[in-house]
Structure 1
Amino acid sequence: MVRMSAEERRESVVRAAMSEFAHRGYYGTSTEAIAKRVGVSQPYLFRLFPNKPAIFLAATHRCMKDTVQMFAEASEGLRGEEAVHAMANAYTKVIAEEPERLLMQMQVYVAVAAAEAAGDHTFGEAVRREWMELWDAVSVPLEGYKDTTTFLAYGMLINTLVAIGFPPEHRVWEEIYPSARAKGRLEK
């Protein structure tokens, strides 16, 4: 049996935490569930991370970093409208193939809002830094503030529609993907 290094085990904890937090949220996820998913004890989990907030922030960082990397790779060498389409297609593929990433993003926003409402700004400060990296990754190839705002606004709309369960053929998608109606794939 090959033993994992502490860094490999740490990464497996982050991936497991992303899955647990995606489905149960910050407050509904126990460190026991994360440890069990990874196959380690809770004391070992706390040797890798000092506490649950640190695990959540590491999972948040991984989720955001993966999304930033996806946008950067999709738009590499492209600018303007070509970059918009490449990044939109890449994101659409990710949320179809990795729904937990979308769920994790949504849970991050909920956790930040709840913490901020309680006067704890730790999550909010960290997530705002991560979000600015996302903003910058999108802004550079889109070459403009308005384009970045529009692109990310559509992304949040798509996140919401997917999260609340609108199927791809529903008419609500028409304005986002108008060509789909012409092809008869949208509900009337």
Structure 2
Amino acid sequence: MVRMSADERRESVIRAAITEFARGGYHGTSTEAIAKRVGVSQPYLFRLFKNKQELFLAAALRGLRETREALADAASAVPAQDAHMAMATAYKKLLADDPDRLLMHMQTYVAVASAEAAGDHEFGEPIRAEWAELWDSTHLTLGADIKETTYFMSYGMLINVLASLGFASSHRVWSGFDMSTVPTTE
């Protein structure tokens, strides 16, 4: 049996945390469930991450960073005028390949809003910073056109909401979308 290094184990914990937090949210997910999914003890988990909040942040930041990287990679592979559609297609593929990704994004927004409401304004800072990186990267890729960036990001957020609410692609709420770029829950 091959032993994993601490970095490999940390990586497996982050992947497990994404799945568990995506499905249960920050408050509804126990570190015990994450440790069990990975096959480690809870004390070992806390050697890798000092607390649940640090683990959640690692999972949330990973999801946002991977989204930003996927969009940038997609855009870099096509002429500038095709970047918008390439990024939309890449995002659709991310969601289709890993449904927990969308749920994790949504749980991230809920966790930050909950923390802010409870007076914890530091919890959201690294998440806001990573989301700003996503915005900035997208903005530059789309030619630093604020209207284009706003359209792209708002369109994506609306897709997140409709997909996470489970609207079938045939429902009237999707009527204004180019269905070739919309992730479906069917």
TM-score range, shorter chain: over 0.9
Over 3 Å counting, the alpha-carbon distance change for 1:16 and 1:179 in structure 2 is closer
Distance in 2 (alpha carbons) for counterparts of 1:88 and 1:15: 24
**Correspondence for 1:67:** 67
2:123 aligned counterpart, secondary structure: helix
Question: Does residue 155 in structure 1 map to residue 173 in structure 2?
Answer: no
Question: Does residue 28 in structure 1 map to residue 41 in structure 2?
Answer: no
Flag structure 1 segments of 5+ consecutive residues without an equivalent: 181-188
Aligned partners of 1:78 and 1:141 also within 8 Å:
no
TM-score (norm 1): 0.91
Distance in 1 (alpha carbons) for counterparts of 2:125 and 2:99: 25
Deviation at 1:36, TM superposition (A): 0.2
Distance in 2 (alpha carbons) for counterparts of 1:140 and 1:78: 15
Identity %: 60
**Correspondence for 1:186:** none
> How many residues are treated as equivalent by the alignment?
180
RMSD across aligned positions (CA): 1.5
Distance in 2 (alpha carbons) for counterparts of 1:145 and 1:95: 25
TM-score (norm 2): 0.92
**Correspondence for 2:172:** 171
Aligned partners of 1:26 and 1:107 also within 8 Å:
yes
Flag structure 2 segments of 5+ consecutive residues without an equivalent: 182-186
Distance in 1 (alpha carbons) for counterparts of 2:72 and 2:159: 19
Over 3 Å counting, the alpha-carbon distance change for 1:179 and 1:20 in structure 2 is closer
Displacement over 2 Å in runs of 4+: 77-81
**Correspondence for 1:119:** 119
C-alpha distance after superposition, 1:114-141 (max 9, x if no partner): 0000110122111110101111121111
Distance in 2 (alpha carbons) for counterparts of 1:96 and 1:20: 18
Over 3 Å counting, the alpha-carbon distance change for 1:104 and 1:179 in structure 2 is closer
